[in-house]
Amino acid sequence: MGRPVGREQGGGAMARGRRAGAAGAGGDGAAAPPFGERPPPFRERPGDGGRPVDLAPASAYEALTRQLVEGLTADLDEIKGRLDGLLFMIGGAIVLDVALRLAGP
């Protein structure tokens, strides 16, 4: 009779949640990185021996999609190079025009 109604032994659900959340968001025992730091780029899983991920296409669709994306990447790089050259030429023309106006006749 001395026990309050609705309370579980050991602090209730809130205490259990704090204990479960203390190990990390994933529950894998790894602590979350401090605020402002990025998490590591990948996590090693126990038992995988540190093997790298297989990036070979698993199907013909995936291989075709990868080729299309690589082609678009190459086209985008070419466009960026042309745009950089155009902006450099415009900037040079402006600087030349200002220099010629300052030199005057």
Cα 89 to Cα 37, 80, 98, distances in angstroms: 41, 14, 14
For the chain, which residues make up each domain, given as ranges?
Answer: 59-105
Higher-scoring residue by pLDDT: 94, 3: 94
pLDDT (average), residues 53-81: 89
End-to-end CA distance of the chain, in Å? 105
**Rg of the chain on CA atoms, in Å:** 30
pLDDT (average), residues 1-23: 50
How much is the pTM? 0.43
Query: Is pLDDT at 67 greater than 70 in this prediction?
Result: yes
- Cα angle 23-26-30, degrees, rounded to a multiple of 5: 45
